[in-house]
Structure 1
Amino acid sequence: MKSTTRGTLAAVVTGIAATVASAAPAAAAGTVPVPVPLGGVSTALDMEVPTLAAELPLPKPGAPDGPRYVTGRLLPARTLPQLPVSTGLPGVDARSPLPHVLGDGFDHIGVDAPATDLRALAPGLSVDAPLTAPRADNFGLPGTKIPQAGVLAPVLQTATDANLGTGPGL
């Protein structure tokens, strides 16, 4: 094996190991930090540039509620159960230089919107067959009825929070 091939293979394995090692703490925390490196632009342009960082949430599926059996129905209620998913809304932290537009004491403007929890339920389906349960007055045979179908509506629940501010320094 050539030395360039070995070097390339070693770089790839090192990159994969670093990615796996950094992903484990992020998965435990529930969000993945995403810094946006703008330091090179600041050095190249010789001026202050905005700083930007974000947090991306990791979705976590939950266990669905199973079908419920109801007396008088052939098929259970919630034939297709709703799947709960808990995740979050992405967060952002951005600061930008402000050239004394608001006065001498205001050098930057910033937005801080942390990642927030989001709980959701996927839509579900509840159907019933066009037959009734076996009846004694009909010699144990089921009767007919109008079929029923219902869609269980999706649910979203969250509360967001954000701060907008100005002040001295970046």
Structure 2
Amino acid sequence: MRSTTRGTLAAVITGIAAAVGAAASPAAAVGTVPVPVPLEGAERALHMELPEVGGKIPVTTPGVPEAPKFVEGRLMPERVIPRVPVNGGLPGADLTAPVPHLLDDDFDHLGLDAPAADVRTLTPGLAVDAPLTAPKPGSGALPEPKLPEAGVLLPMVQAAPGADLTTGPGL
């Protein structure tokens, strides 16, 4: 493959990567969307104290794909379909529930706070090589046949979720 062909192919893939990165910019401004659960009407209708419930839903943001890597002796780049990073999160929850005292009329509370956790992922990719060897420079010989190569680049997921369980007086 000539260096001008490789340069053109690299320019096309770089343009696609830039377009994907530019499309992800507006979504990156928002990290999570709060989701309140209104239970005030049910409290008034039932004449009792109900738990306070809320949540957070993360917004996923795609990243910039890995750039193709050219290796000497191969006709195609090392990663034909690159892996794309997608960052998002696990949903969060906030729950505070009243727990009645057994001996008096005061209420204590039980709380659970599970914040939205970051999740980093990489989509699967594909590495393929053509069934021909690279032409030898200066000899003018045609490329020789060889066994084709194909491989799947495995996906990746990283997260560190956590939660706090609390109890105490009051609501």
TM-score, normalization by structure 2: 0.77
C-alpha contact (below 8 Å) 2:96/2:111 kept by paired residues:
yes
Where does residue 60 of structure 1 map in the other structure?
A: 61
Question: Which amino acid in 2 is paired with 1:163?
Answer: D
Shift in Å, 1:139: 4.3
- The aligned length equals 144
> CA, structure 1 residues 68+136, in 2 after alignment: closer, same or farther (shift >3 Å)?
closer
Where does residue 127 of structure 2 map in the other structure?
A: 126
| CA distance in 2: counterparts of 1:29 and 1:139, whole angstroms | 57
> CA, structure 1 residues 143+113, in 2 after alignment: closer, same or farther (shift >3 Å)?
same
| CA distance in 2: counterparts of 1:83 and 1:27, whole angstroms | 15
Correspondence list, 1:1-170, <5 A: 28-100=29-101, 107-135=108-136, 139-170=140-171
RMSD over aligned Cα, in angstroms?
2.2
- Which runs of 5 or more residues in structure 1 are unaligned? 1-25
Q: Which runs of 4+ in 1 moved over 4 A?
A: 103-106, 136-139
Name the % identity: 56
C-alpha contact (below 8 Å) 2:28/2:61 kept by paired residues:
no
Question: Which amino acid in 1 is paired with 2:116?
Answer: A
Output one character per residue of 1:123-165: Cα deviation in whole Å (capped at 9) or x when no partner.
0000011110013697421111111111001011111121011
Find the residue that maps to 2:134 and give its secondary structure.
strand
**Worse-superposed segment, 109-118 or 135-144:** 135-144
C-alpha contact (below 8 Å) 2:110/2:165 kept by paired residues:
yes
> CA, structure 1 residues 29+136, in 2 after alignment: closer, same or farther (shift >3 Å)?
closer
Shift in Å, 1:27: 6.6
Shift in Å, 1:97: 1.4
> CA, structure 1 residues 76+160, in 2 after alignment: closer, same or farther (shift >3 Å)?
same
| CA distance in 2: counterparts of 1:52 and 1:35, whole angstroms | 7
| CA distance in 1: counterparts of 2:28 and 2:42, whole angstroms | 31
C-alpha contact (below 8 Å) 1:111/1:164 kept by paired residues:
yes
- Which runs of 5 or more residues in structure 2 are unaligned? 1-26
Where does residue 20 of structure 1 map in the other structure?
A: none
